[in-house]
Amino acid sequence: MPTDKETIIKQWETNPVWKKIDAVANNKVFTVERRDWSLSRGLLGSEKMLEDIVKNLGE
């Protein structure tokens, strides 16, 4: 899937409420591959999601 320069996150970042979200304030918002999280199913999809979690949060 193509990655658009204008994403929903860019729109959210312009909203003053965005910075009040705990995860945002604590720098705990991570970008992941949307195909893996929205379209993947089964064991392979779960493994891709787990890779993202480990990459962003550690083991």
Domains of the chain, by residue range, sit at: 27-59
pLDDT of residue 4: 57
pLDDT band at 5 (very low <50, low <70, confident <90, very high): low
Helix, strand and coil percent figures for the chain, each rounded to 5: 60, 0, 40
Cβ contact 23:29 at 8 Å: yes
In Å, how far are 10, 14, 18, 49, 59 from 45, measured between CA atoms? 26, 32, 29, 6, 19
Using CA atoms, how far apart are residues 18 and 24, in angstroms rounded to an integer? 7
pLDDT digit string, tens, across residues 7-59: 788 888 999 999 999 999 999 888 887 777 777 778 888 888 888 889 888 86
Reported pTM: 0.58
